[in-house]
A and B are shown apart, each in its own frame.
Chain A
Amino acid sequence: MSELFYVSAAVAAISGILVVTQVNAMRALINLVVLLLAVATVFFTLGAPFVAALQIIIYAGAIMVLFVFVVMILNLGGRAEEQERTWLGSVLWVVPVILAGVLLVLFIYSTRSPAPAAAVVGPKVVGASLFTTYLIGVELASILLLAALVAAFHFGFLPSRLEKSDE
């Protein structure tokens, strides 16, 4: 199980770097889906099969599909790829990589507890916790989703359908 953790951790890190350095939007999205699947495997090895399944269903299955649809609607094309290549010159990466490296060193330096992960925390315990301790969080999450639904619906209306003016 621990070998699976290290392998999927490496896959996640590599595909994360590939997403960030990619010029083509569709290829970056595919790399992002690989990252989400690797993170789901990491969840499974850490003894969290419930969120591993939810990660695949919701994140890779719904959110990424939304991303793919929007990128295909935008239809940026080859001109955008050339533009991305001119933006991402090699000098641009120096200062952000230094800043990110400092941040990473700080994060790793602050990890203290070497205690291993305990046994599997199954869906039954998580469900019981959601219905008792975190009940108000569930209700707030549903309100947040409703607000996001209304906002996305309102922003999604193109002006030509909403008003009768010329564009």
Chain B
Amino acid sequence: MNSIPTDHALILAAVLFVIGALGVMVRRNIVFVLMSIEIMLNGAAIAFVAAGARWNQPDGQVLVIFILVTAASEVAVALALLLRIYHLWKNVDADEVSLLKG
């Protein structure tokens, strides 16, 4: 089995993370911001798996499982809040719903 250099896997992780960060910066719709956060989490997960594979240890995969748990709980709460925001203001623009009160 050909081995993949750890460098290249970390470069892929960096590229995905930066694409996600770009999406968080640029988009105004909250749904797209949440999707970009998911892309960033996947980039970090690739970095963990690459590091764990480099040393032939399971720690990288264990941390990816925890990333999965964190992403699931964060998405659940964020989408529930998004539904409440839409129910109240009929608006998913992150610039418009910028006041905490009400």
Contacts and interface: CB of A to CB of B under 8 A. Distances in A.
A12 B25 contact: no
A46 B56 contact: no
Contact of B64 (A19, A51, A101): A51
B53 A103 contact: no
Interface string A1-38: 11001100100110011011010010011001001100
A5 B1 CA distance: 12
Given A35-B39, A48-B49, A141-B69, A71 B14 contact: no
Interface residues of B, number: 72
Contacts, number: 246
What is the predominant secondary structure among interface residues of chain B facing chain A? helix
B50 A117 contact: yes
Interface string A43-84: 101111011001100110011001100110110100010001
Given A51-B61, A67-B34, A119-B56, 18 more contacts: A19-B23, A20-B22, A20-B39, A42-B9, A42-B12, A47-B53, A48-B60, A55-B45, A59-B42, A62-B72, A70-B31, A107-B11, A108-B14, A121-B56, A129-B59, A137-B66, A144-B73, A148-B77
Interface of A: 1-2, 5-6, 9, 12-13, 16-17, 19-20, 22, 25, 28-29, 32, 35-36, 39, 42-43, 45-48, 50-51, 54-55, 58-59, 62-63, 66-67, 70-71, 73-74, 76, 80, 84, 87-88, 92-93, 96-97, 99-101, 103-104, 107-108, 111-119, 121, 125-126, 128-130, 133-134, 137, 141, 144-145, 147-149, 151-152, 155-156, 158-159
8 contacts: A25-B31, A43-B45, A46-B4, A48-B52, A58-B68, A63-B72, A66-B76, A144-B73
Across the A-B interface, the 6 shortest Cβ-Cβ residue pairs = A148-B73, A116-B3, A107-B14, A155-B80, A20-B23, A117-B53
